[in-house]
A = this chain, B = another copy of it.
Amino acid sequence: MKVHTIEQAVRYAETDRMKVVHHSTYLLWYELGRTSLLEATGFPYHELERSGTLFPVIEYSCRLIGAADYGDRVRVETTIDSLRSRTVVFAYRVLRGQTLIATGKTKHIAVDSDHKTHRMSNALINALRPYAAV
Contacts and interface: CB of A to CB of B under 8 A. Distances in A.
Interface of A: 9, 11-13, 15-20, 22-24, 27-28, 31-32, 35, 44-47, 49, 54, 56-64, 67, 69-71, 106
Contacts of A32: 9, 11
B12 A16 contact: yes
Determine the main DSSP class of A at the interface with B.
mixed
Contacts of A70: 17, 45-46, 49
A61 B19 CA distance: 23
B60 A23 contact: yes
Contacts of A67: 56
Given A24-B28, A31-B11, A32-B11, A18 B56 contact: yes
A45 B57 CA distance: 27
Residue among A9, A18, A35, A61 with max Cβ neighbours from chain B (10 Å): A18
A70 B31 CA distance: 12
5 contacts: A9-B32, A11-B28, A23-B27, A23-B57, A45-B71
A15 B13 CA distance: 8
Given A11-B32, A17-B16, A70-B17, A61 B60 contact: yes
